[in-house]
C-alpha cells in the first residue's frame, strides 16, 4: 500500500499572529504614505475642473450678453442664465441645463459681480475653492481670467 504524502502537523498550519501583525503594519505604512498624495491629486483635479467650469461659464455669459445686450447684474446673478430676468427683452435661455443656479465642483454657488471689482474685467466670476464658506478669501478664490 502506498504511503500518504500529506502530512498534517497541527503546529504548521496558517499564519502566526506575529506574521499577521507585520503584514497589517506594512499595509498601514503604505496607506499612510500613498493616501495623502492621492488626496492632493484629487484637490488639484477639482481646482482644474473649477477653472474649466469658470471659462465655460464665461462663454455662456458672453452668449447671454449677445442676446440681451449686457451681462446679468449682480442682483440677477447667474440665476439669469436659468430664468428670464424681468428687464431682459431678448433673453433666449435657459443658457445652462441645470435646474438651478450653477455650482462649483465643491457644490458651492459661484460668486458673481457685475461690474467687476478687479481692473480690466467686466465681471467677476469666482469659486471660493475648497473653503466655500469663506467666499471672499482672495487667497483661495479661483476667478475668471
**What are the grid coordinates assigned to 7, written together?**
502530512
Is residue 26 one of the residues assigned to a domain? no
Instruction: Encode pLDDT of 100-110 as tens digits.
Output: 788 888 888 88
d(CA 80, CA 123): 14
Is residue 33 one of the residues assigned to a domain? no
d(CA 51, CA 61): 15
Is residue 73 one of the residues assigned to a domain? yes
Is residue 64 one of the residues assigned to a domain? yes
d(CA 101, CA 26): 47
The pLDDT mean for the chain works out to: 82
Percent of the chain scored above 90 by pLDDT? 23
11 vs 119, higher pLDDT: 119
Is residue 10 one of the residues assigned to a domain? no
Q: How far is CA 16 from CA 13, 27, 101, 131, in A?
A: 9, 17, 59, 47
Count how many domains the chain has: 1
Domain holding 112, by residue range, is: 47-143
Instruction: Encode pLDDT of 37-69 as tens digits.
Output: 777 776 678 888 889 999 999 999 999 999 999
CATH code of the domain in which 96 resides: 3.30.700.10
| pTM of this structure | 0.66
Is residue 52 one of the residues assigned to a domain? yes
Amino acid at each position: 500500500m502506498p504511503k500518504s504524502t500529506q502530512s498534517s502537523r497541527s503546529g504548521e498550519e496558517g499564519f502566526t499572529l506575529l506574521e499577521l501583525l507585520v503584514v497589517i503594519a506594512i499595509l498601514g505604512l503604505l496607506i499612510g504614505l500613498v493616501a495623502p498624495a492621492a488626496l492632493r491629486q484629487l484637490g488639484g483635479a477639482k481646482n482644474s475642473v473649477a477653472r474649466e467650469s469658470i471659462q465655460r461659464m464665461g462663454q455662456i455669459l458672453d452668449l447671454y450678453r449677445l442676446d440681451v445686450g449686457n451681462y446679468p447684474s449682480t442682483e440677477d446673478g447667474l440665476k439669469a442664465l436659468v430664468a428670464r430676468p424681468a428687464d431682459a427683452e431678448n433673453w433666449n435661455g435657459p443658457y445652462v441645463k441645470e435646474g438651478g443656479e450653477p455650482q462649483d465642483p465643491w457644490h458651492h454657488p459661484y460668486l458673481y459681480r457685475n461690474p467687476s471689482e478687479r481692473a480690466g474685467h467686466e465681471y467677476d466670476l469666482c469659486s471660493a475653492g475648497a473653503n466655500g464658506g469663506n467666499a471672499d478669501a482672495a487667497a483661495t478664490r479661483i476667478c475668471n481670467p
